[in-house]
Amino acid sequence: MAEAPDSPGIVALVGGGEWQPGCSFDAELLAASGSDEVVVVPTAAAYEHPERTVVRAGEWFAPLGGRVEGLMVLSRSDAQDPGVAAVMRNARFVYLNGSSPMHLRSVLKGSKVWDALVAAWGDGAVVAASSAAAMALTDPMVDARGGGLTLGLGLVRNLAVVPHFGDTHEDAHGEKLHRSVLLAPHGTPVAGVPERTALIRDPSGGWRSAGEGSVAVFVNGAPAEAGLAALPS
């Protein structure tokens, strides 16, 4: 399995509501990639008309000067295809959208396509992931079914992400968030990221937020006084 490099490109963990007004960071990410192509990977939405996801992304990025290519990695066999992995390896801006973090993890973990993504990131490619994909890219990963923690893909380590932060439809009483915060290993931050908001890790290792909302950080069961500075570099 490929290991995360020491000097990768940008990672943007989006809280959901991707490709909508308010996602002002997408123009910045496109420019930072140095390319006009966005490789959209709808793996997490494999059973929810993934082709529609690609079309929607194309409609969003076109006015920004971007063109979208859908990389239809929907099954484990797709993720092990050398040709598909080659496309991923050459990508400069990869965007994974949401739906099922468990399906995304089971398809990509330890695969040729995942290794190619990590290698591209190591060469400075921009990687953005929204909602379920943002959850799955970290390790530990929040289990969307109840808020517990499980093994994630680990592109970003020692961090867990709760997307749709503050959305009462997703977590009416905050019970899942509370469980995630309490179950996180000692010293491991949990970041609550609202929709249309990105938690961005720059190549220097520093973190910042962009978009409509504010990111909340919790460490050892309580809000982190250091805020984003509590996140791993």
Residue 231 belongs to some domain of the structure: no
In the predicted structure, residue 57 carries a pLDDT above the cut 60:
yes
CB 13 within 8 A of CB 23: no
Q: What is the largest CA-CA distance in the chain?
A: 47
For the chain, what is the mean pLDDT? 93
How many domains does the chain contain in total? 1
Which of the two residues, 114 and 177, has the higher pLDDT score?
Answer: 114
Classify residue 227: in a domain, yes or no: no
pLDDT bracket for residue 1 (50, 70, 90): very low
Residue 51's domain comprises 11-221
Q: Tell whether 99 is covered by a domain.
A: yes
pTM for the whole thing?
Answer: 0.94
Instruction: Dump strand ranges (E) for the chain.
Output: 11-14, 37-41, 67-70, 93-96, 126-130, 138-139, 141-142, 149-150, 156-157, 160-163, 190-193, 197-201, 207-211, 216-219, 222-223
2 within some domain: no
CATH number for 28: 3.40.50.880
Structural domain contains residue 32 = yes
Q: Is residue 175 part of a domain?
A: yes
Contact in structure between 151 and 135 (CB atoms under 8 Å): no
Q: Is residue 140 part of a domain?
A: yes
Tens-digit pLDDT profile for residues 19-35: 999 999 999 999 999 99
Residue 94 lies in a domain: yes
